[in-house]
Amino acid sequence: MKKEADNTTPTIADTITKSKKRTRNVYQLKPKPEPEPEPWFTIGDIEDIQFREYEVAEIRASLLKWYDINQRDLPWRRIIEGEATDDDEIDRKAYAVWVSEIMLQQTRVQTVISYFNLWMDKWPTVHHLAQASIEEVNEVWAGLGYYRRARFLLEGAKMVVEEGGKFPRSVSDLRKVKGIGEYTAGAIASIAFKEAVPVVDGNVIRVIARLKTISANPKDKATIKNIWRLAGQLVDNHRPGDFNQAVMELGATLCTPLSPSCSSCPVSTQCSALLKTKHDSSALVTDYPTKVAKVKQRHDYSAVTVVEILESEQGTVSISDSGSKFLLVKRPEEGLLAGLWEFPSVSLNVKADLVTRRRAVDDFLKNSFGLNVHRSSNIVSRDEVGEYVHIFTHIRLNMYIELLVLRSQDLHRKKNKGLMTFKYVDAKTLATMGLSTGVRKAYNMVQKFKQSRSSLISR
């Protein structure tokens, strides 16, 4: 019979407190009792699932031993390892955890390493970051994606400094900082401040789902809440930060979504999913957690015009871009790629031909900059460059790219202020700006187009 919902499910804090009372020494294991007959076949509601006391002790000891030997050498771990001797050093550890965890959200570890090193060289403390501008932050972040994360880091740093410059020491206080959610707060609190609190990300969900053969939808809010509860039972009271990193490391390196290395897993003897495969030939460890249908990718289309402005009346298009400036417009402060600079672009409802795209671009340039393309005698050239498909999490964006070369007076002569924020930058400045991958790709395609055209002319 399904257990009726009530208010007796222990909170994470209650679970942690009880765990502290039960466990005196995590490395002194009690004799393992005889298991009940094949409990992995009769798992009930996830609300009823618990880790037994001996399981908790075994998992803690096995995982920490494995982590001590096999943990990856990562730059943020070099900062947080060892005992801190003063508040400044503790805060530096908290800052390193914060930056690394935000960067690692939906981004591969190998990609993050160089970005983290560059970031920490430029802003070694939260005080340094608080003095930065959003343009500087975006410049360092460029190419890492999900730019909202960078903005939250900057805004959060300003909050911490405004509140006295010291990192909050508890999960509840960390949650008050802009951009720090439940996961990041748990990571900072456990790793930097040794608070015995759990963290739950995709790796942790997968590990716990396999340990307890949990078939519930891993994206469901109730399931996630219960995974947090189970993670709270497991977290080691003496080394909470190391334990949380060990679980995530296990999920990232061995207990992977499609090819788990069960023979090398330090907690394989506690894994109900693995045990089930030995009794059921049709069962697979990868059956857990339950596969969830991916959100269907939305198809968007945009016409991107790289507007190059020649500085002299007699200017000609060149490969080097010397003597040229490019028109950039700033995206709205909310939404996708908020606040970033890009080439003038127009969203299209559907896939469109060249005539339709140019008509939309012409209207945009006229309404935004007072430029009437059809009446202008100062257009040097206008060429279709190509198409680039840029993939976001749930969006497939087809970018139709063209190059429009103008003599300087066309746009310098008319500026309709108030419609949008725009500016002119030279090629050297463009190369150092924090541009999105899509914008950078559009510029590179234009450069290749110029080179190709120059080669044809020289023949």
Catalytic residue positions, numbered: 101
Evaluate whether 107 touches 120 at the Cβ level (below 8 Å).
Answer: no
Q: How wide is the angle at C-alpha 200 spanned by C-alphas 198 and 206, nearest 5°? A: 125
Residues near 21 by beta carbon (within 8 Å), at least 6 away in sequence: none
**Which DSSP string do the residues of 48-97 spell out, in sequence order?**
G----HHHHHHHHHHHHHHHHHH----HHHHHH-S---SHHHHHHHHHHH
Q: How far, in Å, CA of 454 to CA of 457, rounded?
A: 5
Q: How far, in Å, CA of 166 to CA of 162, rounded?
A: 9
Evaluate whether 243 touches 19 at the Cβ level (below 8 Å).
Answer: no
3-state secondary structure of 359: helix
Asked if omega into 289 is within 30° of 0 (cis), the reply is yes
Identify which of 367, 345, 366, 369 has the alpha carbon closest to the alpha carbon of residue 357. Answer: 345
Q: How far, in Å, CA of 334 to CA of 409, rounded?
A: 32
Q: How wide is the angle at C-alpha 245 spanned by C-alphas 243 and 251, nearest 5°? A: 105
Q: How many CB atoms lie under 10 A from the CB of residue 391?
A: 11
Q: Using CB atoms within 10 Å of the CB of residue 155, give its burial: 0 to 12 exposed, 13 to 18 middle, 19+ buried.
A: middle
Phi, psi (deg, nearest 5) at residue 190: -80, -40
Evaluate whether 224 touches 42 at the Cβ level (below 8 Å).
Answer: no
